[in-house]
Amino acid sequence: RQSLRKLADNDDLRIGSSIRYDALMEDTAYQELATTEFSSWTIENEMKMDAMQPEENAFNYVKVDEMTEMAQAHDIAIRGHVLVWGEALPAWVQEQAVDRVSAERILKSHIQNIVTHYKGSIDTFDVVNEAYHDNGTLRDNIWLRTIGPDYIPLAFQWAHEANPDANLYYNDFGTEMSNKKSEAMLEALSAWKEEGVPIDGIGTQMHLDAADTRFSKDRIAEWFQRIEDAGFQVAVTEMDVKLQNLNNGDAKNIQAERYRDVMEACLDTAACGEFTVWGISDNHSWITEQESADGKPLLFNENSQPKKAYHTIQRKL
Ligand code: XIL
């Protein structure tokens, strides 16, 4: 078959998947799909703060270095995920980040060490992840408590200082269409951008539920256009479509349509340069692990065979 990667190259689109270190190193079928079907890899867990800096100032680059080297050998881009998040924090952060001064020191050092280490090999980062609530207010986390809302623009400034050429993204879920959360997010990011904060793009995770009847391709396309009009790049960063809540025989068709529609919205948006799925095959999915074995949310099945969803996006490309 004609790989997604070959087809996407013609559209100047990065087609990506999240990648897990263990599967990449141990499972040959997984490695084969990772290198032949995708032109971008997002580090699924190995770059999160608990993995990268398990003890203060003891950066653990080994696994991500190996992944980055393999990616480079196959001419694959890496999306660095994620520099600032309220989750996946090592225990020492809770003890050391006690006020604004200490938290800023820790966060700046974390961001700048990583961005500097991967200068030349990682050109795109999810800098801040999941900062907003559904109601449009900022979510509580250690960075908000100690630094305040400024932790967001500061994170982008620090990353930019370490590598002025990197593409820096804000990333969130539930923001694929206009709603309270996405409007608040876009308003704040736009205001910061106008003040000169180096925010290049907005990632929409796109974790979808096939049973969600609010899905609308037109509303997604409209929202992507709004992001573009505000001067940002757009990326689909973590797409999957879970099936466990849909009890009818049509589930696979609906899933395939969702993938096709989101791909179409991305292709129709000039600023959308990346379409990334959150895992390659259904047996390496966080949905399968954390929610239900019936979720089957990805493009390849447990036997690494392409599903209907794969073929519909292949036809779009
Ligand atoms: C998930 C991983 O897929 C899991 O393996 C891990 O146990 C928890 O994190 N939004 C994000 C991702 O930005 O980092 C999350 O990844 C999924 C939701």
Q: What was the ipTM of the complex prediction? A: 0.99
So what's the pLDDT on residue 213?
A: 93
Please report, for the chain, the start and end positions of each structural domain, with discontinuous segments joined by +. 4-316
Q: Is 44 in the pocket of ligand 1 (CB under 6 A)?
A: yes
So what's the pLDDT on residue 158?
A: 99
Token output for 265? 């919205």
Query: Among 304, 312, 223, which Cα is nearest to 259's?
Result: 312
- pLDDT, tens digit, for every residue of 97-107? 999 999 999 99
| Ligand 1 centroid to residue 134 C-alpha, Å | 18
> Does the reported pTM lie above 0.80?
yes
So what's the pLDDT on residue 52?
A: 98
What's the whole-number mean pLDDT along residues 5-26?
A: 96
- pLDDT, tens digit, for every residue of 162-208? 999 999 999 999 999 999 999 999 999 999 999 999 999 999 999 99
Identified catalytic residue from 37, 46, 130, 274: 130
Ligand 1 nearest-atom number relative to CA 207:
18
Note if 238 is an active site residue: yes
Determine which residue's CA is closest to atom 3 belonging to ligand 1: 286
So what's the pLDDT on residue 112?
A: 98
So what's the pLDDT on residue 248?
A: 77
Q: What is the CATH number of domain 4-316?
A: 3.20.20.80
Band (pLDDT 50/70/90 cuts) for residue 247 is confident
